[in-house]
Amino acid sequence: NTEVELTNRSSSIKTLEWERINEVLAETDFNLSEAARRLGMHRRTLTRKLEKKQVR
């Protein structure tokens, strides 16, 4: 039971993270440097996340 709850919580966090990334990318017209700055992460980190999700 606890394992299922943790898995669901982890998925929710990942889902929330992607929703926020997509929101900020839309706000910045896909300007990765500005989006990364607004998200509080390095531009390369954002690029890697996008590559992992195959977002182009």
Alpha-carbon distance 49 to 4, whole Å? 25
pTM to 2 decimals? 0.74
Q: Give the model's confidence band at 53: pLDDT under 50 very low, under 70 low, under 90 confident, else very high.
A: confident
Q: What is the pLDDT of residue 8?
A: 62
* Residue pLDDT, tens place only, 7-52: 566 678 889 999 999 999 999 999 999 999 999 999 999 999 999 9
CATH class of 2-52: mainly alpha
Query: Is 6 a residue whose pLDDT tops 70?
Result: no
Q: What is the pLDDT of residue 54?
A: 82
Structure tokens at 26: 């839309």
Residue 37, classified by CB atoms within 10 Å of its CB into exposed (0-12), middle (13-18) or buried (19+), is: middle
